[in-house]
Amino acid sequence: MNRRQMLVAGGGLSAAAQAVSARTGPQSADEPPFKTINLQADGLALTVPEYVALLGKLVAQRPPQPDYYSNGGAVAELERKFAQLLGKEAAIFLPTGTLANHLAVRKLAGADRRVLVPAESHLFNDSGDCATTLSGINLIPLAPGKTTFEVAEVRSWIERSAGGRVSTPVGAIVIESPVRRRDHEMFDPAEMEQISSYARAHGIRLHLDGARMFSLPYHSGKTVREYAALFDTVYVSLWKHFNGASGAILAGTGSFIQGLSHTRRMFGGSLPQAWPQIALIAQSADAFEGDYARAWKSANELIALFESDPRFKVQKLAGGTSRFFLTIQGTAPTVLTERLSQKSVVIAQPQPDTGMIPVQINPTLLRTTPAALFRTIVSSL
């Protein structure tokens, strides 16, 4: 039995997943339903009442220790947990992934202000040029329109940067995996290893934007620790998969993390009370890998049902992770979306260029059976 099969065969939902899975018996008037199947979210997409209810139960069972400006208490406990999960010496909580990536490249690059980044990355496209505007970092985009850049392109830029009339050495390299702008495709693991080896041989630091990296083991067979070991620093989102209200973790060596709390505060990122944002994350992190494997088992059964009906067409990406694509004939997408929403099923709109609906895999699929969800979708056509 391989690792993926072992996770799927684990039997039943974890304690954390049970807490947020659908109830099959009668519900009290004040108990949120937890019934929605959300096929466009990374995690459970908890509503405000659901989040508050779970937070209330947690506080009643084991009250989180308060932090003070994001130091100590439940925050420090979560930092230690993620450092251990990632195999790093230390970690720091940050309010956003944008700040996590920014502080990572700022410190890694040091005096060498040129940083190689994926052209399709969050840092290059979706962060308002924060690293350039606020920290003077010169971001060099690699491999536009692609998920993976190659070690040859890295080598070319490093040699070009060092050999110009004014030497401008590359101080750091950023890799993102999975890549949101590439439909959650994963950066090629073999190429990642080659880039890591080359960079370390040349004394260049490495950062992984691993916002959704905990989905990678199921698809690649490599553990999160194996991925993290290739990099000096790693960022993980705390809300995408782990159902926090917000937040991010940046992990690295003890010496790297030391003192970053002052930089965090300088950038306005030390929340006076962060514990309500993160209280649910530890349970979700413990449950995620097993729940994700079982969600994909359910998804594959659902895909088989789609493929048995000529009105549906399914497509998977070769290097994909947490989504597949669905084409539906005979119903206007806006009509279908509205009908399904009335039945507690959330789907995305089709992509404008392909007409395909991206279907996101997450543990909300465990709130029903593949057959029941298929019947719900067919009845909405």
Give, for 93, the enclosing helix (H) or strand (E): strand 90-94
Looking at domain 73-278, which of 3.20.20.70, 3.40.640.10, 1.10.260.40, 3.40.1440.10 is its CATH number? Answer: 3.40.640.10
Task: Provide the whole-model pTM.
Answer: 0.90
Contact 136, 111 (CB under 8 A): no
For 154, the token pair is 């890295």
Measured from the Cβ of residue 61, the count of other Cβ atoms closer than 10 Å reads 7
The pLDDT score that the predictor gives to residue 243 is 95
So what's the architecture of 3-60+283-379 in CATH? Alpha-Beta Complex (3.90)
- Please tell me whether the peptide bond between 352 and the residue prior to it is cis, using omega within 30 degrees of 0: no
CA atoms within 13 A on the CB side of 342: 7
What is the percent of the chain where pLDDT is above 70?
Answer: 92
So what's the pLDDT on residue 202?
96
Q: What is the pLDDT of residue 32?
A: 47
Q: Do the first three CATH levels of 3-60+283-379 and 73-278 match, i.e. the same topology?
A: no
Low-confidence ranges of the chain (pLDDT < 70): 1-32
Q: Give me the residue spans of the domains in the chain.
A: 3-60+283-379, 73-278
Amino acid 334: pLDDT: 86
Q: At what angle do helices 189-201 and 151-162 cross, to 10 degrees?
A: 30
